[in-house]
Structure 1
Amino acid sequence: MLTTASVPDRDKVTYWNDAVSRTLVPMTVVPRGDGSFDGRITTDRLGYLQVATVEADAKSVSRTPELIAGSSEALVAVSVQVSGTAVFAQDGRRAEVGEGDLVVYDTTRPYSFDYPRRFAAHVFQLPRHALGVSDGEIRRVTGNAIGTRDGFGAMLSPFLTSLASSSAAGYPPAVANRLAGHVVDLFATLITERAQPGGADAAARSHLMPRVLDHINRNLGDPDLSPESIARKHRISVRYLHRLFEGEGITVSRFIRRRRLEECGRELARRGGTAPTVSAVAQRWGFVNPAHFSRAFRAAYGVSPREWHGLRNAQDGPGPSAATPPLRVAPRGVR
């Protein structure tokens, strides 16, 4: 850990510039304000992945072409804004970085951070060659803030925070290298998916929708299953959940109801054994109100649950009208 705590006020800025440049990459730091500057940086290494946590007063940071020319190693960094805010710029783009946001930047090209007040951030640096993604993909991602409330960022952020908060000293070298490889794979996935057409929405649909649909299918019998509970389980907003389902052409609540009706229709159509009561089937699949279930079933199938059960069991073989319920909306995956 390097800190300005015991450094005389007149030397703090010089000390901090040197500490940051030696720990991360050479850069110029200019404090904002005329008061005494305070900063602390802790570093750890996990295989070839460097993990640092920076806490400091308001400042501006810039990496200029002159500083880049004196650096021998090409690195890519991912910064997680723990507290405070920043304005980040690279490759002609500027991004407002809020608490919890991620930014990706390439140390071989100029960039800047402007922190208007005291802040904290986790910084992960790794060799550029380890990522296995193209320069074009990296360029399309830099200069943007990646939110962590939704999508792939929501899954990645807790893991990075936990990794930065734990010491790598307890890992044997082989384990540390393997863990570093997993982190790099996650970063490469983040960059690749953010760089493709559709960006965050495409990434979220690829990773989140199968999980959301599986969660719904496994919890159809829970009467408390709702957009709110689903969003909470997957650490996303209800609004974002609805946006994911726009691609399915159906709302979340309507999808849940259709899947429940589908399972009820299947169970009521079974032959042999003890015939289940309509109310028991309805409750088993999450319908609390039998009257509401009967109305919803009739609206979907054109007959009441009892009539559906009677029709299916009266036939020697399933007829077209009884065998094919009109409720097939991606029950096991995304279309």
Structure 2
Amino acid sequence: MSLVLTTASVPDRDKVAYWNDAVSRTLVPMTVTPRGDGPFDGRIATDRLGYLQVSTMEADAERVRRTPALIAASSDALVAVGVQVSGTATFVQDGRRAEVGEGDLVVYDTARPYSFDYPRRFATHVFQLPRHALGVPDGDIRRVTGRAISTGDGFGAMLLPFLAALASSPSGGYPPTVANRLAGNVVDLFATLIEERAHADRPDGGERGHLLPRVLDHINLNLGDPDLSPERIAHHHGISVRYLHRLFQDEGITVGRLIRQRRLEECGRELARRGRTAPTVSAVAQRWGFVSPAHFSRAFRDAYGVSPREWRGLRAAGDGLTAAPAVSGG
């Protein structure tokens, strides 16, 4: 059932405070400042589709800011995809500024500061999902934030009507298994959109542009090798370890941390699968390159906030987990 919050019945003197609280509780904590002087009007409706949150916000002209202080006080690491339904916006993240028009998409990371400036009344759909569910490198997400993605052609043109229909359809009618499967399909589409835009913006020339994708492919193909390491990867590609680390300077993650993050992601996906003959936790850990079951359990709990067995039990029960992995080390 959708949660709907509106300023319609709130006294004029309390509307702005109410709206700040409503938006922060529904999406993520942020500050909202109206641009006009008169009574403020806003409405936000939110529904859940598995671990995907779908919200539609309509409001008078306003400025929205997600500050470092608010980020520090938040526990969730989420990625959002916004669809501008009506009105326009100026979106800023990662030092880039984008003018967003009707029908445009924007991708933003709630773990980094951003702002939206809506000069007049507007409506937008917001799709929020756990950062770890995307399964794409941090560098790819950073390449597409602070940009407006047109839906006039290409993949965006195919995605827009689907997202519009999804936002306007209540999810309460879906059984939990169907809702989770549909959420997974939506997240796959978002990952495809991000990868398409990120790679389209990469320079075609230069050694780095050719070598980094090969290194990433090598890592993904060899996650099950417990000896996979920066030294082995560098030797395989005929480069120094120092140069390998230089390749990843713009990716926002070290080589060692990426290997562990990808291994944990694959373990999490395998443990979440339902079936009559599920492999043991230790077998899953070994398959994806973890030699010590105890080390794997500690790393998994650090990343997902629960043990591997608890994760499997929650997924089997159909409960969505929203805690993003806080993978450290490397």
Match runs of 1:172-251 below 5 Å: 172-198=175-201
* 3-state DSSP of counterpart to 2:150: coil
Deviation at residue 86 of structure 1 after TM alignment: 0.2
Per-residue CA shift, 1:136-182, capped at 9, x if unaligned? 00000000000011111000000000000000000000000000000
Counterpart of 1:33 (choices 32, 36, 48) is: 36
Instruction: Quickly say closer, same or farther: Cα 1:100–1:197, change in 2 above 3 A.
Output: closer
Give distance in 2, aligned partners of 1:71 and 1:134: 22
Give distance in 1, aligned partners of 2:200 and 2:85: 29
* 3-state DSSP of counterpart to 1:196: helix
Give distance in 1, aligned partners of 2:194 and 2:167: 20
Give distance in 1, aligned partners of 2:106 and 2:73: 24
Counterpart of 1:110 (choices 92, 113, 135) is: 113
Counterpart of 2:101 (choices 98, 102, 108) is: 98
- Counterpart for residue 156 of structure 1: 159
Give distance in 2, aligned partners of 1:112 and 1:79: 13
- Counterpart for residue 136 of structure 1: 139
Deviation at residue 197 of structure 1 after TM alignment: 3.7
1:66 aligns with 2:75: no
- Counterpart for residue 9 of structure 1: 12
Give distance in 2, aligned partners of 1:33 and 1:152: 37
Kept in 1, the 8 Å contact 2:87–2:121? The answer is yes
- Counterpart for residue 51 of structure 1: 54
One-letter identity of the residue aligned with 1:139: R
1:170 aligns with 2:170: no
Deviation at residue 133 of structure 1 after TM alignment: 0.4
Deviation at residue 33 of structure 1 after TM alignment: 1.3
Give distance in 2, aligned partners of 1:62 and 1:41: 17
CA RMSD of aligned residues (A): 1.1
* 3-state DSSP of counterpart to 1:156: helix
One-letter identity of the residue aligned with 1:131: L
Give distance in 2, aligned partners of 1:45 and 1:25: 15
Q: How many residues align?
A: 200
Where does the alignment leave 5 or more consecutive residues of structure 2 unmatched? 203-330
Deviation at residue 198 of structure 1 after TM alignment: 4.9
Identity of aligned residues (%): 82
Ranked by relative contact order (alpha carbons within 8 Å, sequence separation 6 or more), the top structure is 2
Deviation at residue 14 of structure 1 after TM alignment: 0.2
Larger Rg: 1
Give distance in 1, aligned partners of 2:76 and 2:120: 31
TM-score (norm 2): 0.60
Per-residue CA shift, 1:51-109, capped at 9, x if unaligned? 00000000000000000000001000000000000000000000000000000000000
* 3-state DSSP of counterpart to 1:155: helix
Match runs of 1:216-295 below 5 Å: none
TM-score (norm 1): 0.59
Kept in 1, the 8 Å contact 2:143–2:201? The answer is no
* 3-state DSSP of counterpart to 2:19: helix
Deviation >4 Å, runs of 4+: none
